[in-house]
Amino acid sequence: MANQLMVRLEKSTADTSRLTALIELGKFHIYKAGEVKTDLDSAITYLNEANDLGKKLHLPKAQHNVESLLSVAYIEGGNVQMGKEHFTKLIDDCRRTGDKETEADANYRFATCLRYIVNDYPAAFSYYNQAETLYKELNRQEKEIQMAEQIASLHEDLGHLDLAEENFLNVLNRYKAVKYPRLHYIYSSLASVNRLKGNYDKALYYALQCLGSMNQTQDTLSAATFYGTVAEIYGDLNKPNESNYWYKKTLQQWRYEKLPNFSLYNAAYHVVQDLVAHHKSKEGLRLIADLVREIKPINNIQKGCVAQALACCYDNLKNYFLAEKYYLEAVDWYNRSGGDFEMSQKVQVDVGQFYLKRNKYKIAGFYLRKSLSYFPLKNSLSTIKDVHLMLYKVDSTEGNYLSAINHFRLHKMLNDSIFNVAKTRQLAEVEVRYATAQKVQQIQRQQHELDQAKTTRNSILAGTFLLLGLLGVSYNQYRLKQRSNKLLEAKQLEINQKNETLQSILNEKDNLLDEKEGLLEEKEWMLKEIHHRVKNNLQIITSLLNSQGVYLKDKAALSAIQESQNRVHVMALIHQKLYQSDRIATIPMAEYIEEIVDYLLATFARQDTVIKKMAITPVNIDVILAVPLGLILNEVVTNSLKYAFPSDQTGSISIELTVVGQQTYKLTISDDGVGFPPDLNPNRSRTLGMSLIRGLSKQLGGKLQINQMNGVQISLTFTEEKLVYQM
């Protein structure tokens, strides 16, 4: 997207298109992963240019959006004072101009900035509340509920887990009331809160509900995060196989996106832990090395996670020097980042456990107690339970028996609350319900696929029978035409005999002339009636095909029906012209060709995007030759409209009919489209369209040539014995 915006920026002038590109590029560099100075400098440069252009174009709302982004860029770059000044100026101008929508968005953006970058939680609460009030005044229900969701999430960050859960449940009910479909985000939040509280039955229930909602809506943007939540829950429940399965899924998803972020390396760390547990530490080292080489970590948190994974591997390989080095390096990286999130606290547990195994009880106790001293405490109850058990061992060894007993009591209490019989049964029920629901969905998908396959098969069979019927009707019309020609020949012979008789019987001249004229009128009437009936029969076939098409869903069958309708229309047009014309055996080609092309352009709705170029010599041609020529024209133009100009691309189709010799002329049809696919040989293609073109050309005794010259060019040269020039 960024590359496309850069190209658009180079080609644009000082207009709204350039303004949009500048704003989007500024936003891209602000929210790009990591706090890289060059990215933030680029963001400020783009946004300042956008601000100047917004003033020039007199677009105050665009300027407000720019000011909002500038405030974030300055704060993320460390210039908090400048960021706050831009924000204050923006809010004053929004209120002066009545731009409540931008004011609400700015409060939302600024609150998030203060929350994650400055850690000013009271101010973040205040701005989220202001945004919620403004969205309510604007009747933006989903945005209003979203602010309530952010406030609940902030309570979770501050360790107010009961209040966070209460608020999240309220948000869930409000989303359901407005029929908001993407409930998986709120389910994921409820799963995380309950995991931290140790309510693993609820946590697993909400996590699986999250996956179900994601799959139902096909909104997989945050799939990696959701998989990671399920993995964490199974990890806390001491189910390593299930946990590792979901960590592998989340790692695969993050790795596919190729973006450096903490969740990517965190998932890799847990996969490495599983490899270490199966004594595959070298494989774990290779995994981390490949990942870092493929997607380089760019901030302190990511580097800390990589160091933590390396320490785990070297610990198992008994290279305690490197293990200690990387454990302490991980602690240092996390401390530099602020150290108030779960993994920064969890690393203290890992380091404490490492020293405990080395019988270094004093230093182990230091790190284990430090893991419990954070506020708010982000470690899950399962981790806290294990910490108390390790501190029980440390205090027992050092003779602090009262403290040891207290830690063992806390460990036992937490263990019992997490893994009591009722909760274990509830967890099993949740898993069974989810597995059952998944199986039902799988059966429904398979049944749907079977129904689709059956419908497709029936559609193809119906189309085949219709085409066979069409061929039968066409053959019948051909035989009828042969009989009509024989009848005409008999009538002509009769007329000649009458003429000879008239020449010999002068005294009956007037009566015989009247009889001759009557016979001629009868012949013409009969011919016109035949053409009229043939035309009506063909129109009935067209209607039948159209009626059949209404019941078809398969695109291939519908396309076949449409192409058959076009071919029938070409034949019907011949008979319509003979019925309407004074001529009974020839067709004016210029008018006939133009009507065919106009009909196809209208059928494919390409009148506005495809230009027709006609150069037709004004000739009348015998109807016997006009039918195959019209069908050839139909097939070639249809192929051009279907394939030469994809995605409504503009272009032109040229048609020429020229006399090239005595009773010989050349029909050329060409387009300036994309041409044939590289793997298609038109002279060997077995498609129905190409087969018709070759077969009809052979029937005419003509020479068919197919070339690719800036598109596709098809020409047919043949001899016509009864060619008549228009006067």
d(CA 90, CA 103): 8
Residues of the chain with pLDDT under 70: 33-35, 420-453, 455-464, 466-478, 480-481, 484, 488, 495, 498-499, 501-540, 542-553, 555, 558, 567, 570, 572-585, 721-727
Helix or strand or coil: residue 671? Answer: strand
| Dist CA 229 CA 520 (whole Å) | 91
Place of tokens 């004011």: 103
* Residue closest to 313 by CA, chosen among 272, 352, 354, 349: 272
- In angstroms, the CA 313 to CA 317 distance is 6
Q: What is the pTM of this model?
A: 0.59
Burial class for 504, CB neighbours closer than 10 Å (0-12, 13-18, 19+): exposed
Cα dihedral 695, 696, 699, 704 sign: negative
Q: Are strands 651-661 and 610-616 parallel, antiparallel or unpaired?
A: parallel
Cβ-proximal residues to 580 (8 Å cutoff; 6+ apart), any chain? none
Is the separation of the CB atoms in 112 and 124 below 8 Å? Answer: yes
Cis peptide before 122, with omega less than 30 degrees from 0?
Answer: no
- CA distances (Å), origin 409, targets 156, 361, 445: 27, 20, 51
Amino acid, single-letter form, for residue 264 = L
Compute the C-alpha angle 700/701/707, nearest 5°: 90
Amino acid at 382: S
622's torsion region: left (phi>0), alpha (psi -120 to 50) or beta?
A: beta
Q: What is d(CA 79, CA 41) in angstroms, rounded to the nearest whole number?
A: 12
Closest CA to 418 of 378, 375, 383: 383
Q: How far apart are CA 385 and CA 380, in angstroms?
A: 9
CB atoms within 10 A of CB 648: 10
Cα–Cα distance measured from residue 473 to residue 726, given in angstroms and rounded to the nearest whole number: 33
Starting at the earlier edge strand, list the strands of the sheet with 712-719.
610-616, 651-661, 664-671, 712-719, 703-707
Sign of CA dihedral 658, 661, 662, 667: negative
- pLDDT tens digits, residue range 26-56? 888 888 766 678 888 888 899 998 889 888 8
- CATH topology agreement for domains 1-139 and 585-727: no
Asked if residues 596 and 631 have their Cβ atoms less than 8 Å apart, the reply is no
Q: Which residues pair with 707 in a beta bridge?
A: 713
The two tokens of residue 543 are 């209607």
DSSP letter at 646? Answer: G
Q: What residues does each domain of the chain span?
A: 1-139, 420-584, 585-727
Contact in structure between 431 and 204 (CB atoms under 8 Å)? yes
Q: How far apart are CA 179 and CA 696, in angstroms?
A: 59
- For 693, residues 6+ apart whose C-beta sits below 8 A from its C-beta are 632, 635, 636, 704, 714
**H/E run at residue 613:** strand 610-616
Give the Cβ contact number of residue 36 at 10 Å. 14
Distance between CA atoms of residues 204 and 182, nearest Å: 19
Q: Which one is the CATH code of 585-727: 3.30.565.10, 3.40.190.10, 3.90.1150.10, 3.30.70.890? A: 3.30.565.10
Closest to 312 measured CA to CA, from 341, 284, 344: 284
What gap in Å lies between CA 223 and CA 233, rounded to an integer?
16
Are 595 and 601 in contact by the 8 Å Cβ rule? The answer is: no
Burial of 162 (0-12, 13-18, 19+ CB in 10 A): exposed
CATH class belonging to 1-139: mainly alpha
Residue 467 structure tokens:
């085409």
Q: Whose CA is closest to 652, among 712, 571, 587, 566? A: 712
Region of 182 please: left (phi>0), alpha (psi -120 to 50) or beta.
Answer: beta
Give the tokens for residue 613.
Answer: 């170029």
**Euclidean distance between CA atoms 52 and 640, whole angstroms:** 48
Specify burial of residue 558 (Cβ count, 10 A radius: 0-12, 13-18, 19+). middle
CB neighbours (10 Å) of residue 248?
17
The label of the residue with tokens 């005409």 reads 488
Close Cβ partners of 422 (under 8 Å, ≥ 6 residues apart)? none
Output phi, psi for 619, to 5 deg: -125, 155
pLDDT at 145: 96
Question: Which residues are CB-contacts of 139 (< 8 A; sequence separation ≥ 6)?
Answer: none
Q: What are φ and ψ of residue 473, in 5° steps?
A: -65, -40
CA distance 328 to 504: 129
pLDDT in tens, 622-652: 777 888 888 888 888 888 888 888 888 899 9
